[in-house]
Amino acid sequence: MAKSSNSQRLDFEAPIIELEKKIEELRTFAESTEVDLSGQIEKLVKKCDEKKRAIFNNLTPWQKIQLARHPQRPLTTDIVKAIVADFIELFGDKAFRDDPAILCGLGRIDEQRILLVGHRKGKDTAEKVACHFGSPHPEGYKKALIKMKMANKFGVPIVTFINTPGAYPGIGAEERGQAFVIARNLMDMATLKVPIICVVIGEGGSGGALGIGVGNRILMMEHSYYSVISPEGCAAILWKSAEYKETAAKILKLTAGDLESFGIIDEIIPEPLGGAHRDPSLVYERLKESILKHIRELNKLSGEELIKDRYDKFCKMGEFEKRLEPTVGN
C-alpha cells in the first residue's frame, strides 16, 4: 500500500496518515525491542480502516477533484508501462512539431492489439513543463488524429486515457487553430470504423478532454472528474473569486457518479479505498479487465455499426424530454 508523504497529503487525509504513522512507529519499536505490541497495532489498524471508510465513502465533489489531481495518482505513462506490452511510441503531426502532452503508440493488452492515445502530464518538473502539465497544443491533437486514422486503416481498436486540466490556452496555440483542431477531432473520431474506448483516469477538463474523448464506451475511474470547466474557472466566472470552487464543484455535477446517472458514461472503475495512489497495481488490473471486456463486446460489431453506436450514444446526451411527432390537423 502506497503512503502519502506529509508534503503531498490532502487535508482530509491527515487523520488517516497520522494513524498510519503511529502504526508504523509501533511496528518499528516492536521489531527493535522484541516487545509484543500486536494487540495495540491490531486496534490501530482497525481504527485506521474505519476512519478510511468514514472519510472516503463520503467524499464531497471537491475532495474527489483533489484526489483526481493527487501528485501520486497513476498517470497515463504509469498505466501504459503496467498493462501495455511491446509499446512503440509514435511521434509528430506531419506539419509543425511533436507535442509531448499527447502520448501515442501501438502495443498489446494481453493479445489484443491497440492504439493508445493519452494525455501526458509528466513526472518530474522538467517533464511537466515540457508537457505543459498535461495541456496539449493543436499539434498534439493533430498527432492523435493522424495515429487514430492509421489505426482505423489497419483495423486496430483505439484506447484513450484522458487526464488534462484543459487544452493549452496560449496565444500560439490559438493562432494555430486550437478550437478548430479539437472540433475536427470530434468530427473525425465519430466516423472511425474501429472500437474506441475512452477512459477518464484523472482530470477531464473541457474541450481538452473531448479532443480524444469521442468513443463507443466512456469509462471513468471512481475519483476522476469530467466537466466543461474547472471548478476554479466556474467560480471565477460566476462569483469573480476562486474561493467558491467547492460550491462550483457541487453544482457542476462532474463526478463519475453524477455522469453515470445522466447516462454520459458507461462504467465507473472502482478505486482502492483512499484513491488510486494507495494501490496502483489493483488499479492497473481493474483498468485492463474493463478495457478488454468492452473491446471484446465492440469487436462483434461491423464498422458501420460502430459508427452508429457512437453516433446514437452522443445524440442521447443532454436529451431531457421526448418530442411528440406532429399529427395531421394539428
Along the 330 residues of the chain, how does pLDDT read in single tens digits? 444 444 467 888 878 888 888 888 888 887 788 778 888 888 888 888 888 888 888 899 999 999 999 999 999 999 999 999 999 999 998 888 999 999 999 999 999 999 999 999 998 999 999 999 999 999 999 999 999 999 999 999 999 999 999 999 999 999 999 999 999 999 999 999 999 999 999 999 989 999 999 999 999 999 999 999 989 999 999 999 989 999 999 999 999 999 999 999 999 999 998 899 989 999 999 999 999 999 999 999 999 999 999 999 998 887 666 656 666 655
CB atoms within 10 A of CB 92: 15
State the Cα–Cα distance between residues 182 and 203, nearest whole angstrom. Answer: 17
pTM: 0.87
Task: Write out the three cell numbers for 125.
Answer: 518538473
With a CB cutoff of 8 Å and minimum separation 6, the contacts of 6 are 17
Q: Which amino acid is at 180?
A: F
β strands within the chain, DSSP E: 85-90, 102-109, 112-119, 158-164, 196-205, 217-221, 225-227, 267-269
Task: Write out the three cell numbers for 51.
Answer: 476512519
- What is the enclosing helix (H) or strand (E) of 182? helix 178-189
Eight-state DSSP code of residue 326 = P
Rg (CA), the chain: 22
Residue in the structure block whose three cell numbers are 509528430: 92
Please give the CATH architecture assigned to the domain spanning 66-316: Alpha-Beta Complex (3.90)
Task: Write out the three cell numbers for 70.
Answer: 493527487
